[in-house]
Structure 1
Amino acid sequence: MKIRHNTIVKFAIVALVFTIFSCEKEAETVSDNKKSTSTSQQHPNLILTVQGVKDIRAQLGNIPIFDNTLKVVQEEIDAEIAAGIETPIPKDYSGGYTHVRHKRNMIVLQKAGVLYQILDDEKYAKYVKDMLMQYEEMYKTLPLHPKTRSYARGKLFWQCLNDSNWLVYVSQAYDCIYNYLSEEERNKLETNLFRPFADHISIDSPQFYQRVHNHSTWGNAAVGMIGLVMNDEELIDRALYGIKDLKLDTKEKDDDGGFLNKDGKAGFLANIEEPFSPDGYYNEGPYYQRYAMYPFLVFAEGLHNVKPELKIFEYKEGVLLKSINALLNLSDADGDFFPLNDGQKGMSYYNSALVTAVDISYHFGEQDPGLLSIATAQDRVLLDDSGLAVALGIKNRKAKPFDKKSINLSDGPNGTQGGVGILRNEDIELVFKYAAQGSSHGHYDKLSYSLFEKGEEILQDYGLARFVNIEQKGGGNYLKENKTWAKQTIAHNTLTQNETSHFNAKYEIGSQNHSVLHYFSSENENVQVASAKEVNAYPGTEMLRTMAIIKDEDFEKPYMLDIMKVVSNKANQYDFPYYFLGQVVTTNFEYKTPETLKTLGSKNGYQHLYVEGTAKTTADNTKFSWLNKGKFYSLTTVSNTNDEILFTRIGANDPAFNLRREAALMVRRKNTKNTLFVSTIEAHGSYSPVSESAVNSNSSIKELKVVVNTEDYTAIAITNVNGITKLFITANKDASKEATHTLKINDVNYTWKGGFTFQKIN
């Protein structure tokens, strides 16, 4: 019996070897017979590679963060398999059941495909195949999505954008089970599902595909990634360079009011060239950069693996990898992205797209150990070659803190269209926006800013007016208040003239203009400054804003100094708001509160502001303090005797309660030509509801005074409660680092080099 048993085992081994050999030969034959294929192509080859799978399998059980991620994903997908496959007929907007189900399916498919490669368990491949076959059967007869709001309707989803999301993920799943499928099955999927899907996104929807926008980036990546798996050069070419010889309706607009691309720039490479500055800043802002980084990077990874001759990670001087560092610097102390332009608050680098960004940046970049500390905080990695590299780096204790410093990020393809300056000192972060419009997701808020302490907002930017993927709120899409409020200038911490938004809130005007950097200085760790000029927002009016974070030994924490110099050819009304969060503590002025709330105006965002209090200034300085989350803050601003002070609150003309009911203090200056707004914001003290004790709850500034304001220079004296005075002088014209300045004030000559000086007055 023993001899017979061994013989059976030997025959079984021989049969297994023969089967494996036959499968390999079949795969080679399929590859040879496949239209437009290369006989050397292997699968997987997009985010996973054949060698990468071998390396991962060899390390399993020895790479904790990877092993833990794998366990979580396996449990998730096993539960999905047990629940069965569901591919409902599409009918809903974002947040509706069918939308959510198909969105869930694309993620599940991608993860199941990866599990098949790593665990070599056929149940995952079968699950992917079975679901894809259901989609193939449905898609053959699927009409356009029944919801008609989108400028480019999809079939599985209400907009082509979501269809593109689906194909980006599903391409990876198809790549992972490519060799599991028979030639007949592959032909069926490619003929009835993948090729028609790619054609609908691109050929059938040029208004979506043929432009420079985050939507199109998803479309390009979707067409390109399925093209890489199918080894279809036509699709790959269409993805990289767009659709050739195509004419678009020049009057057509997208969902967000932005005009479609008419200059022939389209395709994946154009979407790298145009939106990214040389510093890696993405013109739509960090919220949409986060969203676009996933297709940018996974398609780039696929191109790197399949078409290394393109050197995609070196394209435009390596801007894709550079952009990840820029994006991480556009987050606060908690990792939340600053809500520049359309941006939902709370979006952070814990988002799955940033897991992709961090892992790919580490693997294909210079293996920055600071990225490993963020990956550690994210507590998961990609289940691919780049995730393995990160897991090994963490395991080998290479991680170091990601050091966020003050940084100036230029905007525009050549870095000449303004930018964003971030000043950091201890726990204080100032975000100063002097950028270009930001495509259709841009807001009309030149020279605006927001201020943070330890990740908490001191003065806020509103962000977008949208409840993303909450179907009950406008189908999860942008609300009309995004245009009537969030995009309008009065919604931001900047100057509004004559109750009219910058560029009259006209995209076609705003998109042609940008602010200009005057100077940026972060070399002095105690005084860091950003200064920029805007001359186009209001024809005939020039605004020069200089903002500083000053660390002064006579103050508990660093404080902000803000100087807005306005020069106009006529008298105007200027409104200057401070959107604070928290409870009013004290003021140095008496104000009246109305019995009935009225709106501040009738249009341009003013219709959404209630007036809750009014006052006239009576002192040279207006002072206002508030308490938020256990910390005190104080505003001191230089006043004119005719200034009005308004307490306002967002929420008027908003019957659906789409807007947050948040407050502002506003300085209104009427019938004024040239003027200067000067203020400080101090963070100080604390309050404990447990001990019920308030510590250092008063402002440390006794007086804020303008001592010089000429065409060439502005000088501000800051005197604290102990009588110590410091002088901040900024050059309004030549602010280059090489320029030498001398200014006489009260018979004292002040000499310095560069854009500013900060000195103690004896």
Structure 2
Amino acid sequence: MATQPILLTEAEIALLSKEVGRSSLMGKTIATNQKDVDAFMQLPIDIPGHGEAGGYEHNRHKQNYTYMNLAGRLFLITKEQKYADWVIEVLEQYADKYLTFDFHVQKNTNPTGRLFHQILNEHCWLFYTSLAYSCVASQMSEAQQQRIQERIFEPMLEMFTVKYAHDFDRIHNHGIWAVAAVGICGLAVGKREYLEMSVYGLDRNDTGGFLAQISQLFAPSGYYMEGPYYHRYAIRPTCVFAEVLHRHMPEVDIYNYKNGVIGNTVQALLSTAYPNGEFPALNDASRTMGITDMGVQVAVSVYSKHYGLDDNLLGMAKIQDAVWMHPCGLALSQAFEQATADREIGMPFWPSVELNEGPTGESGAQGFIRMQDKNQDVFQLVMNYGQHGMGHGNFDTLGITYFNRGQEVLREYGFGRWVNVEPKFGGRYLDENKTYARQTIAHNMVTIDQTCQNYFDVERADSVHGIPHFFKVDSDSIKGMSAFANDHYDGFEMQRSVFMVNIDGLEAPLLLDLYRLNGEGEHQYDYSHQYEGQIIRTNFDYTTHTELDTFGDKDGYQHLWRVADGKVDGTALVSWLQNNTYYTWLGTSSNDNGEVIFTRTGANDPSFNLRSEPAFTLRSNGGNTLFASVLETHGYFNEEFEQSVTARGQVKNIEVIGHNNLGSVVEITTASQVVTVMISNQQSATDTTEHELEFNGQQYSWSGFYALSSRPVA
């Protein structure tokens, strides 16, 4: 009845054992895991009862499965019996108690388990514990194995595939964990039918199961529709279960399935990261997740073994300073060791990339543009013009974020949640996640008539997507992308075109942003910007309010204090200092009237759930409009040494010359030159489309999506 290790052969165990005590990445990984597991094993074994999400009981069960998983492999690699004995003792105590626990009281929409407040966490427990069991089962009597299977694994398998069958085939990150856990457990207890069920779904009709999950959740580009935060969470069961199938169902040819979707999705996840290794907070997301996450470590190791290596992956391994404790990780460790013997491995620099969305790649895209300045600092611009992202989606199609100098400059709020902080609604999503964080005004974009995109209707939002216009990154002087969102407000067409431009005389690339809105009648347009730091100067007078009122009464506006405002005649300038860098934003609208409103989150927040963060909004009223703005990065400030260099930028003005359905023309004036930018507004345009426009008696002509020209300042 004894099972064999699911993910290791005897020959592979022997190779891993040779790494013990070495200074290689694998050697360091084994040593770190030994240290952590040894410390945890010193604690009394505890199988607690029910507790709040994120509370002691939750985290103790999580620690138990985490360290059982590591200890099981350490037993095989180090041959130290203490690791197997500890895993067996923990399993014995779970076998004593598991069926004595009733199901948690349901407090949200997720079904509950016996150990955790939601079944997802129970999936995780089974996933890791089944792997651990397969490593130590040879050290157990047949009676022990039968008892553990009958009192833990079989009830869980029944719960996941019968009681909660609807959740098992759910196309979602929860579903990936469910099928991976059940499939691995089926192998561990010698019931292969559960592996088949996990691959092909309960009804074997392609509507559920692992193959359906990776076919529908991952686009051909590899992008995961819920965004990098949930991608980071889903990548671990995806890659581990892929390795299980590679070994136990080779007929599936999983690493070549759907044109290599496993490899594509690993590359896609890595290519979304900011230069500091953190993932942009697209959709509901923590702002603190990055490439050192254990799931990403597994993904890099799997990719290296099955798809090959390049300097970016070696650089990623250098940052992670660890690998998956598995033969895939050993392959990466050996490659890194060989490469570093010959040369210094640099930091990874992912190229600009457009990642299409949807099962067939026809549901919009996410754009990631990168450009380096003269000091090799990486600037990254992200724009969302893809799908909504299901229940975790934000209402922010055409929203952007911007990163340079090691910090996010045009910022994303992230989700409204205090993960695992039990007093804050048990660590679950807060009401403010819906009432503020997911609302359009909470993002760097335009809100029409103070209403949210798709009117906060998830079903409606899931039925539409952005439309890519162009993504051009082949020039060192200008890189840009443009997209349309024509179904997100009733009666409105929206187009956003964003560029990073190198202009002579400027110390860093300039961010150029054109946001065009077409609709019947007159409307209010709020062009918002989320920033961090201290306002340094403006070019308009504003009034600060000693008695605060809210920015509005719904759709996120009710959570914003209106702290100051001022009328704008022409182009508005707002300059701020964020850490050691100055930023100057200049913006205007083709409508004559304008007002800048400074806001701060925190209104209508009696439980202090929201972080207090500033923003400013350029408001314009009228008919069809084009917002045009530039953001200049400049100067240096050091408070310790009282140094301040170039506190004022070189850009003097941006002006909308004209716009229509064919194209838009704007002019940027710096201290030394005037740069004219001409952009196509034709959805059907190509690289060779000819454009002829006339504004104010001046002819403008160009070929392709956009063109630039410059002349000296008169």
TM-score by shorter chain over 0.5: yes
Residue 225 of structure 1 aligns with which residue?
Answer: 184
Alpha-carbon distance in 1 for matches of 2:237, 2:650? 49
Q: Does the CA-based 8 Å contact 1:300-1:312 persist in structure 2?
A: yes
Question: Which residue is 2:458 aligned to?
Answer: 507
Q: How big is the alpha-carbon RMSD for the aligned residues of Structure 1 and Structure 2? A: 1.8
CA distance in 2, matches of 1:752, 1:396: 51
Out of 380, 404, 424, the position equivalent to 2:370 is 424
CA deviation map 1:17-68 (0-9, x unaligned) = xxxxxxxxxxxxx46xxxxxxxxxx72232x333210211234444522222
1:530-586 per-residue CA deviation (whole Å, 9 max, x = no partner) reads: 100011111111001111110112211001111111110222111111111110000
The residue aligned with 1:729 is 678
Which whole-Å CA distance do the structure 2 matches of 1:648 and 1:192 have between them?
Answer: 57
Moved more, 544-553 or 174-183: 174-183
Q: Which amino acid aligns with 1:291?
A: Y
Structure 1 gap ranges (5+): 1-29, 32-41, 246-262
Note if 1:695 corresponds to 2:641.
Answer: no
CA contact (8 A) 1:63 1:392 kept: no
Tell me which of 45, 54, 64 is aligned to 1:105: 64
**Is 1:758 the counterpart of 2:700 in the alignment?**
no
Q: How does 1:258-277 map to 2 (within 5 A)?
A: 265-277=207-219
Q: Does 1:381 align with 2:323?
A: yes
Residue among 33, 37, 42 paired with 1:77? 37
Which residue is equivalent to 1:579? 530
What SS does the aligned partner of 2:547 have?
coil
Kindly report which structure 2 residues correspond to 1:441-452, keeping only aligned pairs within 5 A, or say none: 441-452=392-403
| Aligned twin of 2:404 | 453
Could you tell me how far apart the structure 2 residues matched to 1:630 and 1:222 are?
47
Confirm or deny: 8 A CA contact 1:407 1:422 kept in the other structure: yes
Residue 468 (structure 2) pairs with residue 517 (structure 1): yes
The answer to whether structure 1 residue 335 and structure 2 residue 294 are counterparts is no
User: 1:45 — aligned with what?
Assistant: 6
Counterpart for residue 720 of structure 1: 670
Q: Quick one: distance in 2 between partners of 1:58 and 1:333? A: 35
How far apart, CA to CA, are the structure 2 residues paired with 1:183 and 1:306?
Answer: 24
Structure-2 change in CA distance of 1:748 and 1:538 (3 Å): closer
The counterpart of 2:91, out of the listed 123, 132, 135, is: 132
Percent identical residues: 34
Query: Partner of 1:647: helix, strand, or coil?
Result: strand
Q: How far did residue 425 of structure 1 move? A: 1.1
Aligned to 1:704: 654
Give, in whole Å, the separation in 2 of the partners of 1:753 and 1:638: 26
2:560 aligns to what? 609
Q: 1:11 aligns to what?
A: none
Q: Which residue of 1 aligns with 2:375?
A: none
Question: What is aligned with 2:151?
Answer: 192
Query: In the alignment, which residue of structure 2 is the partner of 1:141?
Result: 100
Contact map agreement 1:735 1:756 (CA 8 A) in 2: no
Q: Is the 1:63–1:391 Cα contact (8 Å) retained in structure 2?
A: no
Q: Alignment partner for residue 425 of structure 2, among 474, 493, 499?
A: 474
Distance in 2 between the 1:685 and 1:291 partners?
A: 38
Q: Any gaps of 5 or more consecutive residues in structure 2?
A: 373-377
2:265 is aligned, of 323, 345, 349, to: 323
Structure 2 residue matching 1:503: 3-state secondary structure = helix
1:598 aligned to which of 535, 549, 571: 549
**How far did 1:750 drift?**
5.3
Match of 2:227 among 277, 285, 290: 285
Max Rg structure: 1
Rounded to whole Å, the distance in 2 between the matches of 1:662 and 1:288 is 24
Asked if 1 retains the 8 angstrom alpha-carbon contact of 2:72 and 2:83, the reply is yes
* Alignment partners' CA distance in 1, 2:294 and 2:206: 33
What's the CA shift for 1:147?
Answer: 5.0
User: Which position in structure 2 is the counterpart of 1:314?
Assistant: 256
How big is the shift at 1:748?
7.2
Q: 1:633 aligns with which of 579, 583, 588?
A: 583
Q: CA deviation at 1:457?
A: 1.3
TM-score (norm 2): 0.95
What's the secondary structure of 1:706's corresponding residue?
strand
> For residues 130 and 458 of structure 1, what CA distance do their matches in structure 2 show?
51
1:180 is aligned, of 127, 132, 139, to: 139
Q: Which stretch has the larger CA shift, 198-207 or 271-280?
A: 198-207
Q: Which amino acid aligns with 1:434?
A: Y
Secondary structure of the equivalent of 1:409?
A: strand
Alignment of 1:489-568 (within 5 A): 489-568=440-519
Q: Distance in 1 between matches of 2:406 and 2:227?
A: 18
> 1:411-445: CA deviations, max 9, x gaps?
11111111111111112211111111001110001
d(CA) in 2 for partners of 1:356, 1:177: 22
Which residue of the other structure, out of 611, 635, 648, is the alignment partner of 1:685? 635
SS of residue matched to 1:445: coil
Count of residues in Structure 1 that have an aligned counterpart in Structure 2: 701
Q: What is the deviation of 1:223? A: 0.5
Are the aligned partners of 2:501 and 2:509 in contact in 1 as well (CA < 8 Å)?
yes
Residue 416 of structure 1: SS of its match in structure 2?
A: coil
Q: Which amino acid aligns with 1:731?
A: S
SS at match of 2:158: helix
Aligned to 1:37: none
Matched residue, 1:8: none
- Spell out, residue by residue over 1:486-521, the C-alpha distance to the aligned partner (whole angstroms, 9 max, x if none): 011111111111111011101011010101001111
**Cα displacement string for residues 706-733 of structure 1 (whole angstroms, at most 9, x for unaligned residues):** 22312101111111122x1111111111
Residue 239 of structure 1 and its aligned partner are, at CA, apart by: 1.1
Partner residue, 1:160: 119
Deviation at 1:271, TM superposition (A): 1.0
Measure how far apart 1:400 and its partner are.
5.6
Q: Within 1, Cα distance between the matches of 2:706 and 2:86?
A: 65
The question of 1:244 aligning with 2:203 is answered yes
**How far has the Cα of 1:478 moved from its partner?**
0.6
Residue 696 of structure 1 aligns with an amino acid whose one-letter code is T
How far apart in 2 are the matches of 1:300 and 1:713? 48
Q: How far has the Cα of 1:673 moved from its partner? A: 2.0
